[in-house]
Amino acid sequence: MVGEDAAGLASAADAAADAAAEAVDPDEVLRHARALIAARSENPGGTEDEAAEVASGILTDLGAEIRFVRSEAGRPSVVARIGSGERPRLAWNGHLDTVPAGDPSTWSSGPFEGAVVDGRLVGRGACDMKGPIAAALAAVAAVGRAGLSFAGTLDLHLVADEELAGTHGTRVLRDEGLLDQDAAIVGEPSEMEIALAERGGAWVTAVAHGKAAHGSQPHLGVNAILTMSRFLLRLQEVLPDRVHALVGSPTVNVALVTGGSAPNVVPERCQVDIDRRIVPGEEDPEEVLAPFRRLVEDLVVERPDTHIEISLREWTEAAETTGDSAIASLVRDAIAAEAGAPPPFVGFTGITDARYYINDAHIPTVIAGPGSLSLAHTANESIGVDEMVTAARAYARIFVGFLGTR
């Protein structure tokens, strides 16, 4: 009898997940995504206020308990609670800000218009990540439409400022003690693959110091730009020989360069800002900086007038979580049910707010959302309408599966 009861419970849970997934309304997904895109939230340059109003309006209609949590600068995150208030509790995180739209003439339709072209919704934030947020909102609506309510609690964290490191968004939620769920999903565009790890970043500044001289007598000076050039040509040497199973190798990119003072002066200073991406396991900033300094020492041996200072401007941790968690297997099963095949576990090349849940709050967390990261931040950013609908159905299954119903 016990076995039969267990089987009966399992099939009741499956039936609830099926009913929630079937209740997703494709028109509603698209409507929410377009409304969010129309509410500009460029970062830097704007705020998330308008997008937060749109999201909280939708969530109020769905019966959520809503709070605006603002950073000291007043930037809003929407924290919405749906369900009983009891455990289990699941967080779903998506950011309301977008990168700036850039030059509108590089877009085939207005970046805030939300045109649908060949089955794809076009607009700033379409995939990163107003489309994924629309999918989550439509999933919540579908659960209600199926006549179900959560036995546990869903916390939606629709946050500010992810694009500039989350200082005004998820970090504020962390500081307020709001990251205390049993599991979390960050809905960044992963093409509905499941990312279990992400890279971090070390922003390194190198300053070459030379000696100014009259431009007609360069032999009397030390050219800081040439010193820097010799350093940059060998920059790949600062990378360690390591490969992470999910996110691959560390990378290095020279991002910004400034130097010199006038066309007729030997430059005495040259500065570069370097973006060194780190992988999980690289935890000590000094270890990451050491090869930069060794390269400088090598150059000094070759040319004693070489003088380059290395410093760390900012450090953002990498993050990694296990694939053995309940949430990882539930997400995998739900996506398999909607997409036809189980998605792979992968790494995420960019930095996301998942690191706050994983590293700071020690919550089992996966990154899984519709849309492709390769289209994020581009002109004509887009997402397949069918991708959003599939994600909404998968999220409905995940919410029901993790939280249970009553």
Applying CB under 5 A, the residues found at the interface with Zn ion are 128-129, 188
Instruction: Please report, for residues 104, 306, 352, the alpha-carbon distance to residue 294 in angstroms, rounded to integers and kept in the order given.
Output: 45, 13, 31
**Alpha helices, H only, 284-365:** 285-302, 326-339, 354-355
3-class SS at 244? strand
- Identify which of 370, 333, 388, 336 has the alpha carbon closest to the alpha carbon of residue 138: 388
Q: What are phi and psi of 94, to 5 degrees?
A: -145, 145
Q: Residue 386 gets which letter from DSSP?
A: H
Residue for token digits 């002066």? 265
Q: Which CB, 129 or 383, lies closer to Zn ion? A: 129
Alpha-carbon gap, residue 96 to 338, rounded angstroms: 26
Question: Which residue type is seen at 236?
Answer: Q
Asked if 279 contacts 249 with a C-beta cutoff of 8 angstroms, the reply is yes
User: Which C-beta is closer to Zn ion: that of 188 or that of 387?
Assistant: 188
Q: What is the maximum span of the chain, computed from C-alpha positions, in angstroms?
A: 96
Instruction: Tell me how far, at minimum, the Cβ of 64 lies from Zn ion, in Å.
Output: 22
What residue number has its CB nearest to Zn ion? 128
Helices (H), 217-306: 224-233, 285-302
Closer residue to Zn ion (CB): 58 or 129: 129
Nearest CA among 158, 170, 202 for reference residue 53? 158
CB of 376 to Zn ion, least distance (A): 6
**Nearer to Zn ion (CB atom), residue 159 or residue 403:** 159
Select 163 or 182, whichever has its Cβ closest to Zn ion.
163
Residue (188 or 198) nearer to Zn ion, CB:
188
Nearer to Zn ion, 127 or 141 (CB): 127
Write down the least CB distance from residue 166 to Zn ion, Å: 10
The minimum distance between CB 90 and Zn ion, in angstroms, equals: 20
Q: How far is it, in rounded angstroms, from Cα 318 to Cα 175?
A: 19
CA distance 69 to 137: 19
CB of 318 to Zn ion, least distance (A): 17
Distances (CA, A) of 359 to 35, 113, 122, 137, 398: 33, 38, 34, 27, 23
CB closer to Zn ion out of 114 and 169:
169
